[in-house]
Amino acid sequence: MLPFKTNIILCVIEFFSVVLLHVAYALSQDGPEKAAFISIGFLPALLTILLYRLVKNERIVIRCFYLSMIATSYIISWQLGMLGTLSVIFLAGALMLALYANLSLMVEYATLTIIALILNIIFLREIIMITCPVEIYLIYLLIYLFAMVSFIFLVNGVNDYKTQMEEKNEEARNALEAKANFLANMSHEIRTPMNAIYGMAELLDERDFEEEEKGYIDTIRKSSENLLAIINEILDFSKIDSGKMEISEEEYHFNSLIHDVLSIIEFRMKNRSVKLIYDISPEIPRVLIGDELRIRQILINIMNNAVNFTHRGHIALKIKWEPDLDGNGFLHVSVEDTGIGISQADMNKLFTAFGQIDTKKNRNVEGTGLGLVITKRLLNLMGGDIHVRSKVNEGSTFSFTLHQRVKDPRPSNYDSDHDRVTVDNAGYRITFKAPTARVMIVDDNKVNLVVASELMKRFGFEAVMVESGMEAVNRVEEHLVDYDLIFMDHMMPVMDGVEATKKIRALNSKYAKEVPIVALTANAIKGVERTFKEAGMNDYLAKPIHMNQLSEVLQKWIPFEKQVSIVNGKELAGFSPVGDTGQLPGVDSMDIIDYLKGLNVEDGLRNCGGNKNVYVKVLTTFASSNLLASLQEYFTKGDIENYTVMAHSIKGACRNIGANDVADQAYELECAGKDEDVDFINKYHKTFCENYSEVMRTVTNALIAKRSSDIRR
């Protein structure tokens, strides 16, 4: 019944106490010599402790204890002339042995001790009668006999009960396993047709219906999303409940995590009179090690809860960083809202499975009531916990602390980075479009897909959105569509982007081996590019996505003939080559040279292998580039490192078209940047920008003038 260790401790303490009392009695009655001899009774206790530490077999330890205890008890009783009370000592030992609840050992002990007590009365009656009449001894023996029989029945009953409980526990475990499997299977079976419903709604939404029908389609789509979210919550809860949920710690980019969470919450808060506030400490390390997927889920669950119950005021996300002595640290996260609040009576219901507080009042709130339950259990799995402070009609604050290891200790500076991304993406001027481009975006996060897809739309095409690496592999293998470019998210469950790319490259087709694949990654750190290239990826784009970087990637990998340049807000559609001749319709590349005053056209042609058509393509790309804006941005921020990189890029671009003078100036600025000669850069930056702008105007005007000339013809 008791744990083995506890049982051993009790046995040793009890017998040690019995022997100690006998030693004290011998010392008072017969002197130190007899007391010293009686102290031999301590041996069973010491031997049991030694065996417990050395021997793993519990039966051996117990058997050794009771045999040595019987022997020493007999010796002590003999020496003190107390054989008549031996049954009392044996009874105390039997009580301790019964707690171990082993029937065979109990029967062994009872048999040996009863035989010993019977032999006593047969062969040592005279010695026993000195201190104990025979009648009393026989009464003791009879009581002991009944006690042993009772102990045997008791131990047998305990064992039967234990067996029944083990069988019931096994049944419960099997039932829990069956429930988990059922939920997993059902969630899969439901998710499959729901995905089909959602997909069909998406397709119908692209058709030209009336507003009323559009509303029906939108309702179908949103209902599908809500149902899928509920299914996922139930499945997550089932995994946690059955102990199958595992925490996977890997490197993740903090800014990307927060950007994803805020994007999702901002999307949910559309058309609400609630303000989203965030206070993210800039000193939080750039790259951490933890379970990014589960941390994102925790943040979204808590913030979704705030969104559900906040109808006015604000929701504030605050994240602080506390370093520890090992170079790692703690994320202190709190989500504060000005919602309806929670009463003290309802506080205990918050983390109850399938429960929502005040369900009548909150009947309009969708969900299973599992969000906070899952959040708490996930935090517990990661060594954290969630705390709540709330006041009715004033709001609530949910907070938790989570220990994270550090990979890249450089500060993330989320606020400034997020603001820069927002401003850059909102104010970026599109320099080309590719309306016929076919692009696939692979990401397990639906909000990431929507964001990336909307950014692509600004370049004039609709991207195909795929939610798993396996689906991307299947699409490439089926080869029903020739994709010009595939954007592959790096971190995805089941099959990540690197594994998916390797599988695509291993397919037995020229298309699979050559289709450009660009990694979408939050891990834009040193060494990651090599990992992507080894997997077969051609390039990578860091998240959060910057429009100028996206433009460069699209321009680099989408076939040139599918790109339509935009100059001064006008599409130069005539610059897109068609057919197999490689000739640009509307542009005679021999004559455009007449408009390129101030450029060394011969050097430009030489850099293009003497191919005038290629030279015109390079000129068109140069005119649509946005390098000067980036250079000016880095100059304003004092970011010398990136300023140097941009000066290097401009140098190469100018050299390619034959703008040698400006290329030389860019080279001087590049060298100054490498030497950190800020004074030189400050002195010549403005002049360089003016000269570079003049070259841009020359090329742009040449393209426009020649185009106008061709139209007049």
Domain spanning 429-558, CATH architecture: 3-Layer(aba) Sandwich (3.40)
Q: Do the beta carbons of residue 407 and residue 289 sit within 8 Å?
A: yes
pLDDT tens per residue across span 679-707? 999 999 999 998 998 888 888 877 776 66
pLDDT tens per residue across span 660-670? 889 889 989 98
Average pLDDT value over all residues in the chain: 79
pLDDT tens per residue across span 260-286? 788 778 767 766 778 888 899 989 998
Mean pLDDT value across residues 75-102: 83
Q: Which three-class secondary structure string do you get for 508-548?
A: CCHHHHHCCEEEEECCCCCCHHHHHHHHCCCEEEECCCCHH
Mean pLDDT value across residues 439-462: 80
Per-residue confidence (pLDDT) for residue 571, from 0 to 100: 65
Q: CATH for 584-713, among 1.10.3470, 1.10.8, 1.10.287, 1.20.120?
A: 1.20.120
Lowest-pLDDT choice from 119-128, 485-494, 602-611: 602-611
Cα distance between residue 336 and residue 316, in whole Å: 5
Q: Do the beta carbons of residue 519 and residue 540 sit within 8 Å?
A: yes
Where does CATH 3.30.565.10 sit in the chain?
Answer: 250-420
Per-residue confidence (pLDDT) for residue 206, from 0 to 100: 62
Where does CATH 1.20.120 sit in the chain?
Answer: 584-713
Alpha-carbon distances of 621 from 42, 615, 647, 653, 696, rounded to whole Å: 95, 10, 17, 9, 11
Mean pLDDT value across residues 375-391: 88
Per-residue confidence (pLDDT) for residue 289, from 0 to 100: 92
Lowest-pLDDT choice from 88-97, 335-344, 501-510, 575-584: 575-584
Dihedral, CA of residue 231, residue 233, residue 238 and residue 244, to nearest 10: 120
Mean pLDDT value across residues 425-444: 79
For the cut 70, the answer to whether the pLDDT of residue 478 exceeds it is yes
Per-residue confidence (pLDDT) for residue 639, from 0 to 100: 86
Cα distance between residue 662 and residue 647, in whole Å: 11
Q: Do the beta carbons of residue 561 and residue 577 sit within 8 Å?
A: yes
Alpha-carbon distances of 261 from 4, 107, 267, 335, rounded to whole Å: 50, 66, 10, 13
Per-residue confidence (pLDDT) for residue 335, from 0 to 100: 95
For the cut 90, the answer to whether the pLDDT of residue 319 exceeds it is yes
Residues 6+ positions from 467 with CB-CB distance below 8 Å = 442, 443, 444, 446, 449
Cα distance between residue 131 and residue 33, in whole Å: 22
pLDDT tens per residue across span 196-250? 676 677 667 767 788 778 778 877 776 776 676 666 666 666 666 656 667 778 8
Cα distance between residue 297 and residue 424, in whole Å: 28
Of 493 and 164, the structure prediction assigns the larger pLDDT to 164
Mean pLDDT value across residues 421-433: 62
Sequence length of the chain is 713
Burial of 3: CB neighbours in 10 Å, binned 0-12, 13-18, 19+: exposed
Per-residue confidence (pLDDT) for residue 203, from 0 to 100: 66
Per-residue confidence (pLDDT) for residue 362, from 0 to 100: 45
Q: H or E segment at 14? A: helix 4-29
Q: Do the beta carbons of residue 619 and residue 698 sit within 8 Å?
A: no
For the cut 90, the answer to whether the pLDDT of residue 317 exceeds it is yes
Residues 6+ positions from 386 with CB-CB distance below 8 Å = 302, 351, 372, 375, 376, 379, 398, 399, 400
Mean pLDDT value across residues 190-195: 65
Mean pLDDT value across residues 422-446: 75
Of 571 and 96, the structure prediction assigns the larger pLDDT to 96
Beta strands in 418-497 (DSSP E): 432-433, 439-442, 464-466, 485-489
Per-residue confidence (pLDDT) for residue 381, from 0 to 100: 86
Q: H or E segment at 337? A: strand 329-337
List the structure tokens of 142: 């009879």
- Burial profile 162-200: b = 16 or more Cβ within 10 angstroms, e = fewer: eeeeeeeeeeeeeeeeeebeebbeebeeebeebeebbee
pLDDT band at 328 (very low <50, low <70, confident <90, very high): very high
List the structure tokens of 286: 């750039």
Would you call 665 helix, strand, or coil by DSSP? helix
Q: For 30-102, where are the alpha helices, taking DSSP H only?
A: 32-38, 43-54, 58-80, 86-100
Report residue 589: phi and psi, to 5°: -65, -15
Cα distance between residue 710 and residue 707, in whole Å: 5
Mean pLDDT value across residues 559-573: 72
Residues 6+ positions from 383 with CB-CB distance below 8 Å = 402, 403
pLDDT tens per residue across span 282-293? 899 988 999 887
Of 8 and 322, the structure prediction assigns the larger pLDDT to 322
Residues 6+ positions from 347 with CB-CB distance below 8 Å = 388, 390
Q: For 560-626, where are the alpha helices, taking DSSP H only?
A: 601-607, 612-623
- Burial profile 84-102: b = 16 or more Cβ within 10 angstroms, e = fewer: bbbbebbbbbbebbbebbb
Cα distance between residue 649 and residue 634, in whole Å: 14
Per-residue confidence (pLDDT) for residue 439, from 0 to 100: 93
* Chain centre distance of CA 186: 25
pLDDT band at 369 (very low <50, low <70, confident <90, very high): low
Mean pLDDT value across residues 370-382: 83
Nearest-10 crossing angle of helices 254-268, 446-457 = 80
Per-residue confidence (pLDDT) for residue 107, from 0 to 100: 92
Per-residue confidence (pLDDT) for residue 363, from 0 to 100: 39
In the chain, the percentage of residues whose pLDDT exceeds 70 is 79
Per-residue confidence (pLDDT) for residue 368, from 0 to 100: 46
For the cut 50, the answer to whether the pLDDT of residue 312 exceeds it is yes
Mean pLDDT value across residues 437-459: 80
Per-residue confidence (pLDDT) for residue 111, from 0 to 100: 93
Per-residue confidence (pLDDT) for residue 180, from 0 to 100: 65
At residue 546, what is the residue type?
H
Residues 6+ positions from 227 with CB-CB distance below 8 Å = 190, 194
Cα distance between residue 65 and residue 636, in whole Å: 84
Where does CATH 3.40.50.2300 sit in the chain?
Answer: 429-558
Beta strands in 378-458 (DSSP E): 386-391, 395-411, 432-433, 439-442
Report the relative pairing of strands 285-290 and 395-411 from DSSP bridges: antiparallel
For the cut 50, the answer to whether the pLDDT of residue 373 exceeds it is yes
pLDDT band at 184 (very low <50, low <70, confident <90, very high): low
Cα distance between residue 537 and residue 551, in whole Å: 18
* Chain centre distance of CA 57: 43
pLDDT band at 547 (very low <50, low <70, confident <90, very high): confident
Residues 6+ positions from 385 with CB-CB distance below 8 Å = 376, 379, 400
List the structure tokens of 247: 């925490």
Domain spanning 250-420, CATH architecture: 2-Layer Sandwich (3.30)
Cα distance between residue 147 and residue 522, in whole Å: 73
Residues 6+ positions from 172 with CB-CB distance below 8 Å = none
Cα distance between residue 15 and residue 145, in whole Å: 21
Report residue 252: phi and psi, to 5°: -150, 155
Of 429 and 380, the structure prediction assigns the larger pLDDT to 380
